[in-house]
Amino acid sequence: MLWSVSFGGVPDPGFVPPFRRTQDNLFPPQYPSVTLKMTFEGYIKSKPFTGSWSVLPWGELRYRNPGTLSPNMDSTPYFLTFLSSLPGLRIVHAKPAQGDPGEIFFPTQPLLDELKKTPVCSP
């Protein structure tokens, strides 16, 4: 599962196929990192989760799933429990620098309502 975020002003890249190894290109591209802080909000406010995100060439940010190339310990499915129980997600740069965008807030309740109407998968 991939988790992406944009602070605005990023064109829609459309479908970007996953990396496939070739004889000329053996390793996936390495992108610069940025640290973001995520707080889930609702009837309670979660402790902030700080994680490493990749800065993609078109400006979008993608959560680095745990693995050898990531310092993150929590996988995206771990965060689904928070998303399904708290109706808001606030994302901000962990150490904002001048020129960084402010925080963004995602109301997750409309997404949860849609997921309840249409099952994501069926057994």
Please answer whether residues 3 and 63 qualify as being in contact, where contact means their C-beta atoms are separated by less than 8 angstroms: yes
Express each pLDDT in 79-96 by its tens digit.
888 877 788 889 998 887
Would you list the domain boundaries of the chain? 24-114
**Cα–Cα distances in Å, from 96 out to 22, 87, 92?**
38, 25, 8
Residue whose C-alpha is closest to residue 73's, from 50, 41, 40, 55:
50
pTM: 0.78
- Give me the pLDDT at residue 36, please: 93
* pLDDT tens digits, one per residue of 108-123: 878 777 777 876 666 5
45-67 average pLDDT score: 89
Predicted local distance difference test score (pLDDT) of residue 51 = 92
Helix (H) or strand (E) holding 88: strand 88-93
CA-to-CA distance for 20 and 39, rounded, in angstroms?
A: 34
Q: How many C-beta atoms lie closer than 10 Å to residue 21's C-beta?
A: 9
Binned at pLDDT 50, 70 and 90, residue 32 comes out as very high
